[in-house]
Structure formats: C-alpha cells, structure tokens
Amino acid sequence: MLRRLYDWTLSLAARPSAPYALALVSFSESSFFPVPPDVMLVPMMLARPDKAWSYALICTISSVLGGIFGYVIGLALYDSIGSWLFQLYGLNESAETFRHAYAEYGHWVILLKGLTPIPYKLVTITSGFAGYHLGWFILLSVITRGARFFLVALLMSRFGPRIKSIIDNNFNLVAALAIIAIVGGFVAFKYMF
C-alpha cells in the first residue's frame, strides 16, 4: 500500500495540481493532520528535482500558515477542538507540562521541535494554548520550518538520484523507518514533558 502511495506521489509531481496538494498537506499537518508533508515532498522532489526549491518554499509558507491556524485552535478553541486533538493523540497529560515549559524555553521549544519528527501541530496548538507571543511564534516557525524543508531540498537537489535509488531498492526498510520516526515523534512528545 505504501509503495502505491509513493508511486502515486511521484506521478502527482507531473500534474499542475501538485503544488496545491503539497500546500494542503503541509498546511493541514501543522494544525490537525497526522502525516508530515515529507511523505509528499520527498517523492515530488525526486520526480521533479528542478522544482525542489519551489516545493520547499510552498511547504514553508503553507506550514507556517497552518501553524497559525493551529495557534488559533490552541488560543481560542483549546477547550473543545484543541483538547480533542491532544486526547486523540493520547497526550492530554503532556499538554499542561508542555504549556508551562513555554514560560522558560518557548523560543527553543518552537525552534527545536519544528525540526524534529515531533508533530509540529502539537507545538502550534500548545503555543496558542500557552498564549505565546504570536509575532515570535511566526518568526520562529518561518526559521524552523524553512530550515527543515530547505534542508530536504538541498539533499534532494544534491543527492536526489542516489536517494531515489536507495528508496526504490529498499522501499520497505525506508517506509518502516519513516513510520518509526513519525510514531517516535509522538512518543517522544508524550514522555518529554
């Protein structure tokens, strides 16, 4: 099933709607969707290395906009939607501790967690819930999300054919490692705070 999704994503890169689909996934992942945009971003960059940098820009902008939406969920709707999302991921107990960490480490929390497999939506919702300064949140989100997606673009533009060959020849292993990283991000978030 994952192989078909990978092949479909590679074929999607040739379609005019590809950037819109990537933007939608990136926006959604920053506020409520559990799958990171890298699942689409990497295959699209492999299929169209000439567009790697524009795909990174699309991911950065839409991720920050989605992060602002996640921030609003945390700020205005935590008691209903935000709490439900944390409960869905089994992280209700961690939310309060994470919120208090903002008092001392807010800048570092956003910068570091935006680069890791820890789900960014949890950072965005909690930032709103904690009442973290919106201007700083946006600036730090642009830095951390941009660094993440442009690093992927750099790797794909420099080593794309070799990476594609590795993925094609070891797809099951690569898919398993990606799933472990995603699940590990949720687990790390739950036990870090």
**Tokens matching residue 187:** 């687990």
Tens of pLDDT, residue by residue over 2-50, are 667 666 666 777 788 889 989 998 999 898 887 788 888 888 888 888 8
- Residue-wise burial string across 155-175, b where 16 or more C-beta atoms lie within 10 A, e elsewhere: ebeeebeebbeebeeeeeebb
Break the chain into its structural domains and give their ranges.
2-11+21-192
Tens of pLDDT, residue by residue over 47-79, are 888 899 999 999 999 999 999 999 998 888 877
Give dist(CA 97, CA 190) in Å, integer.
10
Give dist(CA 181, CA 188) in Å, integer.
10
